[in-house]
Amino acid sequence: MAEALDVAALLRDARAHAGLTQTELGGRTGIAQPNISAYESGRRTPTVRTLVALLDACDVELSWRSR
């Protein structure tokens, strides 16, 4: 059975690892800071395209591995 992905924690960790504020991440992606805050708190879930854009801006690659 597949494990659930904690998108909020993934985004928070990736941004922290990149040393970026939410505002700086927003500047790199064109995504408004309040939306990034909502994603990181789990109040909203980004689309896969948005998630990939946010992670790319943090220099983190999202990959899928089948078992």
**pLDDT, mean of each 10-residue run, the chain (67 residues):** 76 97 98 98 95 96 79
- Ordered by start, the domain boundaries in the chain are 7-57
Q: How far apart are CA 5 and CA 22, in angstroms?
A: 21
Architecture per CATH, domain 7-57, reads as: Orthogonal Bundle (1.10)
End-to-end CA distance of the chain: 10
pTM: 0.87
Model pLDDT, residue 1: 44
- 36, 22 Cβ separation under 8 angstroms: yes
